[in-house]
Amino acid sequence: MTENEFYSDQEKQLARFAKALSHPVRVYICKLLSNQSCCYSGDLAEEVPIARSTLSQHLKELKASGLIQGEIMPPKIKYCLNKENWAKANEVFTNLFNAEKEINSSK
């Protein structure tokens, strides 16, 4: 069994979500998007005090993880939470945090 085969799909998904949320700017972006249906890249640039190129990299990481999705609407890009993957993230993080309770209750 290879190292990659050792981990469950849920553990791999959790790691992807955790990596995407491992920076405060990305957490902040997700919080912003969770409070509104969508947001344009220009609006995000005004809201987050970082360079546009840095913001773009953070959005790229969130998009690659599947937590957000972007739709090109020239000259802007509209970003929204990916509600399906957001629900998956909630599930896998909840399972992780409840794992300790399950372990302790089985002792």
Prediction pTM value: 0.85
Per the domain annotation, does 3 fall within a domain?
Answer: no
Per the domain annotation, does 17 fall within a domain?
Answer: yes
| Domain ranges, residue 23 | 9-105
107 pLDDT band (50/70/90 cuts)?
A: low
The Cα angle at residue 27 between residues 22 and 29, in degrees rounded to 5: 135
106 pLDDT band (50/70/90 cuts)?
A: low
Per the domain annotation, does 2 fall within a domain?
Answer: no
Interval 48-103: pLDDT, tens: 999 999 999 999 999 999 999 999 988 889 999 999 999 999 999 999 999 866 55
Burial of 48 (0-12, 13-18, 19+ CB in 10 A): middle
Domain count for the chain, please give it. Answer: 1
Q: Which CATH number fits the domain that encloses residue 34? A: 1.10.10.10
Per the domain annotation, does 4 fall within a domain?
Answer: no
Per the domain annotation, does 1 fall within a domain?
Answer: no
